[in-house]
Amino acid sequence: MNHMEKLLEYARLIVRTGANVQKEQTVVLNCSVENHDFGRMVVDEAYKAGAKDVIVFWNDVKTSRLKYDYASLEVLGNVPAWQAESRNYYAEQKAAVISIIGSDPQAYFGVDSEKLKVSSQASAKAFEPYYKKMMNSDFQWCVAAVPEVKWARKVFPNHSDEEAVAKLWDAILNSVRIGKEDAVKAWEKHNDFLREKCALLNDYHFESFHYKNSLGTDFTLGLQKDHIWEGGGEYTPDQVCFFANMPTEEIFTTPDCYRAEGTLVSSVPLGYQGNLIENFSITFHEGKVTDYRAEKGVEFLKIIIETDEGSNRLGEVALVPYDSPISNTEILFYDTLFDENAACHFALGECYPTTIKDGGKMTEEELKAVGANQSKAHVDFMIGTNDLEITGITKDGCEISVFKNGNWA
Ligand code: ZN
Ligand code: ZN
């Protein structure tokens, strides 16, 4: 397969397997201007899959950067109603949403963090109906990545622009299983594997997990009492299967947001809003963040944690073996889509209601009452290492090794 054929297969995989676009469905594509060629391929594939209309939102980090530099706090803190409506409307219509990401991980380096905070809070609020429906799998959505020069150079600093982009393309296409066998079949197989792991953990139905490694993580987490492990394909209420992330190697569920004790130490820098948070740790007591530190970017960790009432509690716990295809490349991607699929992680903020029995039908208040966290934020951070030990504790106090030396025990 030559490079062009691989790209076509990738675009098709995103549309058919990732978003699983249905006949006569509207598709919304979010795409960076740098990746316009690939974006157009996705549009073409979406129509071929039967989409009745494809709406494209082009975004450009350089334009956004100029806005951060020049616009006032007041302007940045205001999302015009029509803009909110444009997203919330398509969520309401159950359009399939495809996001092609890939940009400079430090695009907003040096921007006043207050501006980033005000702007992210305004967006979270304006697009809340959209995000709620998304977290609830009310419509199909899929996030996939395409290289961009600055990003590629951050990942491969010792190569030329061209080489770095080519290497990042290889890494991305490998991670989504393109190039060797039939990609659609490979994803079916992969999905079965993730489902098996979920079934096993659902059988144990652990009460809590204990985490320990040499980086300093020493942490106990309660799992929500009716939690369900999920991984691979998810289903909309109409039973349309889709993959929210490409690649995806994680299986995840909802923690009890009132039961977390101890300290989690990051194993990978966290990209947040065009900045990096490095070598950080977060300490919890009774589910709530009581302390946090970072060697770099602590102000962005603060923005995440202080987003709202629920952003200082955990909403997701995810397991990824250290020995996974992405982590085996030993590439640090500086992008959560990849790094979260290379390491065990957690998310601060909103939970996925679909990972609780009947959670999709519960109101916000009901979810909160059963320990399923509610927030406008949802930010994954990675803590998995090659010496991570996770012990599962069952209702009757049995201790079972879940992860040993970073891998499934
Ligand atoms: Zn995750
Ligand atoms: Zn997450």
Domains contained in the chain, number: 2
Give a yes or no: residue 184 inside a domain: no
Residue 93 belongs to domain with CATH number:
3.40.1830.10
In this predicted structure, the answer to whether residue 10 has a pLDDT above a threshold of 90 is yes
Distance 352 CA to ligand 2 centre (A): 8
Q: Which of 45-49, 54-58, 330-334 has the lowest mean pLDDT?
A: 330-334
Give a yes or no: residue 241 inside a domain: no
Give a yes or no: residue 91 inside a domain: yes
Residues 102 and 211 in one domain: no
CA pseudo-torsion sign 261, 266, 271, 275: positive
Q: Could you give the CA distance from residue 68 to residue 66 in angstroms, rounded to a whole number?
A: 5
Backbone dihedral angles phi then psi of residue 377, each to the nearest 5 degrees: -100, 155
pLDDT, tens digit (0-9, with 9 covering 90-100), for 275-297: 999 999 999 999 999 999 999 99
Distance 319 CA to ligand 2 centre (A): 11
Q: Percent of the chain scored above 70 by pLDDT?
A: 100
Domain of 96, in residue numbers = 3-175
Distance 369 CA to ligand 2 centre (A): 21
Residues 132 and 219 in one domain: no
Distance 135 CA to ligand 2 centre (A): 10
Give a yes or no: residue 196 inside a domain: no
Residues 208 and 145 in one domain: no
Residues 109 and 170 in one domain: yes
Residues 81 and 153 in one domain: yes
Which-ligand-closest: CA of 345? 1
Residues 219 and 165 in one domain: no
Residue 178 — pLDDT band, cuts 50, 70, 90?
Answer: very high
Q: Percent of the chain scored above 90 by pLDDT?
A: 96
Q: How far is CA 296 from the centre of its chain?
A: 22
Distance 316 CA to ligand 2 centre (A): 6
Residues 214 and 171 in one domain: no
Distance 267 CA to ligand 2 centre (A): 16
- pTM score, two decimals? 0.93
pLDDT at 181: 80
Distance 118 CA to ligand 1 centre (A): 25
258 near 385, Cβ under 8 Å? no
Q: Which two tokens stand for residue 210?
A: 């204990």
Give a yes or no: residue 193 inside a domain: no
pLDDT, tens digit (0-9, with 9 covering 90-100), for 109-142: 999 999 999 999 999 999 999 999 999 999 999 9
Residues 226 and 144 in one domain: no
Distance 69 CA to ligand 1 centre (A): 32
Neighbours of ion ligand 2 (CB under 5 A): 316, 347, 380
Q: Which of 180 and 191 is assigned the larger pLDDT?
A: 191
Distance 396 CA to ligand 1 centre (A): 28
Give a yes or no: residue 235 inside a domain: no
Which-ligand-closest: CA of 341? 1
325 near 174, Cβ under 8 Å? yes
- Residue closest to 179 by CA, chosen among 41, 1, 326: 1
Measured at the CA of 302, the angle between CA 231 and CA 370, to 5 degrees, comes to: 45
Q: What is the mean pLDDT of residues 343-367?
A: 96
Query: Average pLDDT of the chain?
Result: 96
Distance 379 CA to ligand 2 centre (A): 6
Which-ligand-closest: CA of 135? 2
Distance 158 CA to ligand 2 centre (A): 31
pLDDT at 292: 98
Residues 277 and 151 in one domain: no
Give a yes or no: residue 76 inside a domain: yes
Which-ligand-closest: CA of 350? 2
Q: Could you give the CA distance from residue 163 to residue 141 in angstroms, rounded to a whole number?
A: 31
pLDDT at 324: 84
Distance 350 CA to ligand 1 centre (A): 12
Alpha-carbon dihedral 103, 106, 107, 110, rounded to 10 degrees: 170
229 near 197, Cβ under 8 Å? yes
Distance 127 CA to ligand 1 centre (A): 21
pLDDT, tens digit (0-9, with 9 covering 90-100), for 58-106: 999 999 999 999 999 999 999 999 999 999 999 999 999 999 999 999 9
Residue 155 — pLDDT band, cuts 50, 70, 90?
Answer: very high
Residues 171 and 213 in one domain: no
